[in-house]
Each structure stands twice: as C-alpha cells, then as structure tokens.
C-alpha cells in the first residue's frame, strides 16, 4: 500500500525522488511560474521548457534533472491546460499523470507541491482540503492494478511507495494532513471495491463476498450479519432464490450496519446488487460480453466500500447496507423464462427473461429495507446495458423519488467526478412491465430499458423515498480512465462518501 503523507517544506528542502509542480496552461501564469523557478535553476529552466516545447497542456509532463540545485534529483512539471477550465478534476488528473510518469521511471517517492490556484477565477475557489483530497486521489487511484494472479513476467522494478503533499506555508499543513487522512480512507475503500469487482467469479461468489464484508466489518468495527440459504427461504426472498436456482453455489443475504452513535441520526439504507457472475441464466448471454459479468456485483462492492469508509470517518449517519448475492447460472434446476417468483412482502413477478436478474434480487432487498424505517433508500446496481448505451462510462444513471437526495448526489458527483445523470421515471412506461399472470413482469421491451428497470424496482420500495443508481457503465470500464485502469472502477464509492460527509 502506498504511504500518503503531508508536511511543511519548500521545493528546495523536500526529500523525494521527484518534486511535482502543477503548471497552468495560460501563457501569463505559465511564464510567471517558470520565472519563479529561476530562483533555483537560473535561466536553464527557461531553456529546458523551450527546448522540450512544454506548454502545460492537459496531460503534458516534463521531467528535468535538478543537479543538486534542490534536494530532489528531479523536477516534474505537469500541465493543467487552459486556466479558465480549471477544476478539481483537472488537478486530480494532473496528479495522476505525474504518478504514472513516476511509475514508468521506477521512482519510489513522489512529492507534490500544494498548488495555489489562480485567485481571479470565478467559479473555482477550492478549499485547501478539497484540493489535497483530489490530488491524493488522482495519485493513489491511478496506480491501482489488479495483478495478484500474474505470476509470470511480473516486473521487479521498485514500486512507488510514498506520496507526499508539501506546502511551503506552515499555516495550511494541518488542513492538508487532515485531508490526506481522509483521502487515505476514500482511496482504500475505492480500491477495496475495485479488488472485489476485479476478482474472478471463482474467487468471489456469494459466500466469499459475505466473508469479505465480514472481514471489513470486523477490522473497522461495524456490524455484519449474513443469512444463509435456509434463512433466505424462511424470509421468502423468492427473487433471490429464483435467480440462485441454477447455481451450484448457495446464495447469501448480507446485512451491514453502522451507527454514528449520536441519537436521532438519519437512517440511510444502501442496497447493492451482488450478482457474482451473470451468465444470463437460461436466457444466456453471448460469449463476447460474458466474462466481464464477474463484475456484476459492483453495486455490492460499492456498498461494502462505503460502509467501511463511513465507519472509519465516523460519519454522522445511521447507515445500513443490504446485499442480496447469488450467481446467475443456467443449471438443470435453473429458473425458466415464464416462471413466476414471489418476493419478500408478497408481490409476484413473471420472469420473461432470466438475464434481467438484478431487479429480481433487488426487489426482495428493497422491500426488506422498509424494516429500518429509512429516510431514504439508495440502490446501486450494474442493472442495464441500456444505461451504458445512454450514458457510456462517464455518468451513472440516476432515477428516483427523492429530489433532495438526487440534488445532493448530483453535487457530490460533480465534485468527485464520480458523476450521475438523472433519467426520467416516466410512469407511462409502466405499461411495458405489466404482466397478465403476475403483479409485474421483469422486462419491458427494447426501448427505455434503464427506465423500465427502475420502474420495476419502484414497485418494491413502497412509500419510502428512494434513489436508484445504474452503475453498469461507470463501474465496469472497457478502457483506461486517467485514474482507473480498465476493469472495476469502484464507481459509487467516492460519490456516496462525499454525499454522506456533507449529509446535514
């Protein structure tokens, strides 16, 4: 695990393998910054920048040998691009660019100078804490790799072990130290979610997913209860049992709980889709899109990550995490298209397509969530390919009945860049999931698939306020993102932590 720390220091004094300075792309600011560096390097810095044609564009990085003019042997300048487009995300990505460069150079210790954003930028006046968290996230998350199964050709280069944020002004260091301790927790839980997502289906299945949740709960001190199949049968979770019917591995229902301790805290129930592998069942998927369905438990992974972070950050909320978990397999005893299942609470569903299984297991959990008398229920699920078609990988689809919480999520999403985009819950589309033989049907035809899936879920939340996040496109990345390699991204974790940190 990479060490993350903060200290008071100057560029000259800081001891590291490289010092990183963020550089604004605007010509005037750019020149001002280069001129300031003459103090250490004389005119050499101007020549070097000109020679390498470094313009501080977004994604640009320039590494220079410092020849003992400062303690660190290298100076790394990273571009922020156009000044008027500056944002926390720009700093997050620039920090990632520097960290990845440090990795290719086999550096062990990288030190970032805390940037001072231009004072005259309307609309961008970040708090020191937010800036430090963003830089830490960009650095730490960009270095994430899932390579524990690679035994051959593993590079034995030294790894980046330490990241330091330093500030030449003593005054801000306390705040940066606090920010770094928060970022540590945010990054840990994001990477926990990524590890669970990326783990193959023969490592993470319902029992081992539950074990992972229990391990986290035990380590950090929140509550975890796990129902085995018998209890799931007794409680009548017919959706979960139906989806599980074709699998050799038994299902689990995981109940996590954290209480901030104070009285009268708001209860928020998080529900995460925990399909540890989605073959589609009898309505089997084509092979080309099947392997990535080991990540169909990304909603569950996010819920576990958020529970852990909320506990470590001692957030002022009463948080409940519910995870229905099973594989979706086409065994001889599998659920058939046309079958009818009875959910917790008594509603029935006609199963038209066994590949629309997420909503079947969520239905039980959403109905069960009422027990906790929640202020709001928020579910996270890799629910529909339709949502990926609509929004791609840059925003999770958001639908629900709680406009307040959706506004909060929107704001948290913009800040963390773990973004959401609201889709309409048009009730007219409900007719598409009407069934002639049961209360509801589990598919709604070709069009507006993300919406009809959400309308299905809505039937089970009763009168409770509720928000659904379809993370199918954001949690499962098909290509690298600046600070997430392709694969499981941990989507939803940073989003929810940010919302919960600013809940009241």
Active site residues: 285, 359
Least distance (Å) between residue 142 CB and ligand BES: 23
Lookup: tokens for 137? 């996230």
Q: Is 345 among the residues that bind ligand BES (CB under 6 A)?
A: no
Residue from 358, 400, 413, 492 binding Zn ion (CB under 5 A): 358
Residue from 382, 393, 416, 489 binding ligand BES (CB under 6 A): 382
User: Nearer Cβ to Zn ion, position 416 or 442?
Assistant: 442
User: Nearer Cβ to Zn ion, position 113 or 357?
Assistant: 357
Spell out a b/e string for 183-195, using b for 16 or more CB atoms within 10 Å of the CB, else e: bbbbbbbbbbbbb
How far does CA 318 lie from the centroid of its chain? 21
| Residues numbered 270-299 forming contacts with ligand BES, rule: CB under 6 A | 278, 296
- β-sheet bridge partners, residue 420: 396
Q: Is 418 among the residues that bind Zn ion (CB under 5 A)?
A: no
Least distance (Å) between residue 273 CB and ligand BES: 8
Q: Which of 360, 366, 405 is nearest to 383 (CA)?
A: 360
Rounded to an integer, what distance in angstroms lies between the CA atom of residue 329 and that of residue 282? 7
Pairing of strands 440-441, 348-350: parallel
Residue from 254, 304, 476, 484 binding ligand BES (CB under 6 A): 476
The listed partner (ligand BES, Zn ion, none) that binds 297, CB under 5 to 8 Å by sort, is: none
Least distance (Å) between residue 457 CB and ligand BES: 13
The listed partner (Zn ion, ligand BES, none) that binds 374, CB under 5 to 8 Å by sort, is: none
Residue from 60, 278, 308, 498 binding Zn ion (CB under 5 A): 278
**Kind and range of the H or E run holding 212:** helix 206-220
Rounded to an integer, what distance in angstroms lies between the CA atom of residue 297 and that of residue 279? 13
- Please count the other Cβ atoms lying within 10 Å of the Cβ belonging to residue 393: 19
Q: How many residues lie near ligand BES (CB under 6 A)?
A: 17
Q: Identify whether the C-beta of residue 381 lies closer than 8 Å to the C-beta of residue 275.
A: no
DSSP conformation letters of 43-68 = THHHHHHHHTT----TT-EEEEE-TT
Q: Which of 302, 303, 324 is nearest to 250 (CA)?
A: 324
> Per-residue contact track with ligand BES, 295 to 324, x per CB under 6 A?
-x----------------------------
Pairing of strands 396-400, 466-470: antiparallel
Q: Is 356 among the residues that bind ligand BES (CB under 6 A)?
A: yes
Q: Is 172 among the residues that bind Zn ion (CB under 5 A)?
A: no
Q: Single out the segment in contact with ligand BES by CB under 6 A; choices: 133-141, 148-156, 377-385, 489-497.
A: 377-385
User: Nearer Cβ to Zn ion, position 280 or 413?
Assistant: 280
Q: Is 449 among the residues that bind ligand BES (CB under 6 A)?
A: yes
The listed partner (ligand BES, Zn ion, none) that binds 385, CB under 5 to 8 Å by sort, is: ligand BES
Least distance (Å) between residue 379 CB and ligand BES: 14
Q: Is 444 among the residues that bind Zn ion (CB under 5 A)?
A: no
The CA-CA-CA angle for residues 303, 307, 310, to 5°, reads 135
Q: Single out the segment in contact with ligand BES by CB under 6 A; choices: 82-90, 333-341, 380-388, 430-438.
A: 380-388
Spatial neighbors of 441 by CB under 8 A, at least 6 apart, are 349, 350, 352, 433, 434, 435
Lookup: tokens for 355? 């590949």
Which letter does DSSP use for residue 495 in this model? H
Residue from 355, 364, 379, 470 binding Zn ion (CB under 5 A): 355
User: Nearer Cβ to ligand BES, position 90 or 273?
Assistant: 273
Q: Which residues bind ligand BES (CB under 6 A)?
A: 278, 296, 353, 355-358, 382-386, 388, 443, 449, 472, 476
């Amino acid at each position: 695990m990479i060490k993350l720390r903060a200290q008071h220091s100057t560029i000259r004094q800081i001891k590291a393998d490289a010092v990183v300075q963020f550089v604004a792309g605007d010509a005037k600011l750019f020149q001002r910054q280069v001129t300031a560096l003459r103090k250490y390097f004389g005119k050499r810095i101007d020549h070097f920048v000109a020679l390498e044609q470094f313009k501080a564009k977004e994604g640009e990085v320039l590494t220079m040998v410092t020849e003992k003019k400062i303690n660190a042997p290298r100076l790394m300048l990273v571009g922020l691009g156009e000044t008027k487009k500056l944002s926390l995300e720009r700093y997050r990505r620039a920090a990632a660019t520097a960290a990845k460069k440090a990795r290719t150079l086999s550096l062990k210790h990288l030190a970032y100078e805390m940037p001072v954003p231009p004072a005259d930028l309307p609309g961008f006046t970040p708090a020191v804490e937010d800036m430090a968290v963003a830089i830490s996230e960009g650095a730490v998350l960009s270095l994430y790799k899932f390579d524990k199964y690679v035994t051959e050709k593993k590079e034995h280069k030294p790894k980046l072990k330490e990241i330091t944020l330093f500030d030449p002004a003593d005054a801000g260091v306390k705040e940066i130290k606090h920010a770094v301790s928060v970022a540590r927790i945010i990054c840990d839980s994001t990477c926990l979610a990524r590890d669970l997502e990326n783990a193959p289906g023969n490592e993470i299945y319902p029992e081992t997913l539950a074990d992972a949740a229990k391990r986290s709960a035990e380590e950090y001190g929140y509550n975890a209860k796990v129902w085995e199949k018998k209890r799931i049968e007794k409680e009548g979770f017919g959706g979960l049992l139906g989806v599980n019917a074709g699998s050799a591995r038994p299902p689990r229902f995981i109940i996590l709980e954290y209480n901030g301790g104070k009285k009268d805290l708001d209860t928020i129930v998080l529900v995460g889709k925990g399909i540890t592998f989605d073959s589609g069942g009898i309505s089997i998927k084509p092979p080309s899109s099947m392997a990535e369905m080991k990540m169909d438990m990304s909603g569950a992974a996010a819920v576990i990550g958020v529970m852990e972070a909320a506990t470590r950050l001692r957030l002022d909320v009463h948080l409940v995490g519910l995870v229905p978990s099973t594989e979706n397999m086409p065994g001889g005893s599998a659920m058939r298209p046309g079958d009818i299942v009875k959910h917790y609470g008594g509603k029935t569903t006609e199963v038209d397509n066994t590949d629309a299984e997420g909503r079947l297991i969520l239905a039980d959990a959403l109905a069960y969530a009422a027990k906790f008398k929640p202020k709001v229920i928020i579910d996270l699920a890799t629910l529909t390919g339709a949502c990926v078609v609509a929004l791609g990988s840059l925003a999770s689809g958001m639908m629900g009945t709680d406009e307040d919480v959706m506004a909060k999520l929107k704001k948290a999403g913009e800040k963390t860049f773990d973004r959401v985009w609201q889709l309409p819950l048009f009730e007219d589309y409900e007719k598409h999931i009407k069934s002639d033989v049961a209360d509801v049907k589990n598919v709604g035809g070709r069009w507006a698939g993300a919406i009809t899936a959400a309308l299905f879920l809505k039937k089970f939340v009763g009168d409770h306020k509720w928000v659904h996040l379809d993370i199918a496109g954001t949690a499962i990345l098909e290509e690298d993102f600046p600070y997430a390699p392709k694969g499981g991204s941990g989507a939803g974790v940073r989003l929810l932590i940010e919302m919960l940190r600013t809940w009241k």
